Amino acid sequence: MESGTGTAKTIASPKIELSSRAIYSALFILATLLLFFAPEIDSQAQVNLTDKDSVLAALEFRPIGRLNISRENLAPLTITVHGNEVEYSFALEYNPNTFNLKYVFIPPRTNIHKASELLAAIPTADAVSAYDEKTGRTVGYISARGGRGNNFPIRPFRVYEVSVTQPSVFALNVSR
């Protein structure tokens, strides 16, 4: 109330008018934040780990060193079930006249979480590479001098490039 007049004065709040552009910008920012902070869906919950076709369908193929990797590029894979254990065996062939780059993936429920651990799990390997989504480039880790390069994280069902120095079998056992 103003003094002396006896009438009430209404103070109007300003009307906020948002343009459609501002609304779309806010929605875009919200969607981006949700995608960034949303937890990854646990792939192993939907994949039958004993079925080769189901496992291969779950793989994430990313370009490595300008190569578009596909299912046909994977090292020959055998899946064997032993009770509650599933064995994944990759035949890593060697040819002295080539670079001997092989492509493998890591199933869920292993103790391999870094490039150094993958390299250690394959005694005949001397390097491992992967696609880095943040930089859009290939990153690598080599065995020279106890390990050099980017000791990048290993994700289940992601395909990795491995360089081998002789033929071998890379086998991993995981629980069902």
The yes-or-no verdict on residue 49 having pLDDT over 80 is no
In the chain, the percentage of residues whose pLDDT exceeds 90 is 27
Q: Give me the pLDDT at residue 5, please.
A: 57
Residue scoring higher pLDDT (29 or 65): 29
Residue scoring higher pLDDT (54 or 93): 93
Whether the CA torsion 49, 54, 55, 59 is positive or negative: it is negative
> What is the number of other CB atoms lying within 10 angstroms of the CB of residue 72?
6
CA distance 101 to 73: 10
- Which region among 25-34, 116-125, 134-143 has the lowest average model confidence (pLDDT)? 25-34
Q: How confident is the model at residue 15 (pLDDT cuts 50, 70, 90)?
A: low
Model pTM score: 0.65
| Mean pLDDT, residues 149-174 | 92
Structure tokens at 98: 């080539």
Residue scoring higher pLDDT (45 or 58): 58
pLDDT averaged over the chain? 76
The yes-or-no verdict on residue 21 having pLDDT over 60 is yes
Q: Where do the domains of the chain lie?
A: 43-175
